[in-house]
């Protein structure tokens, strides 16, 4: 007989295991999370986060 506590434990382990395989949608990332994603996805350069404001000029 499986107790309720054992069922909860198994469910928690399964949820934790499956959450590791949820793909990241980079279009929704911002700030430091986006920087971390870019740095983990490539090795050609290292991105850094800056909260300074900037302006893009169209030429």
Domain extents in the chain: 23-59
Rounded to two decimals, what is the model's pTM?
0.50
Q: Which DSSP string do the residues of the chain spell out, in sequence order?
A: ---HHHHHHHHHHHHHHHHTTPPP-GGG--HHHHHHHHHHH--SS----------PPP-
6 confidence band (pLDDT: 50, 70, 90): confident
Residue 47 has pLDDT above 80, yes or no: yes
């Amino acid at each position: 007989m499986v107790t309720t506590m054992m069922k909860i434990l198994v469910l928690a382990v399964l949820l934790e295991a499956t959450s590791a395989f949820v793909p990241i949608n980079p279009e929704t990332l911002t700030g430091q999370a986006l920087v971390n994603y870019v740095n983990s996805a490539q090795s050609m350069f290292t991105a850094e986060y800056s909260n300074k404001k900037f302006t893009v000029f169209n030429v």
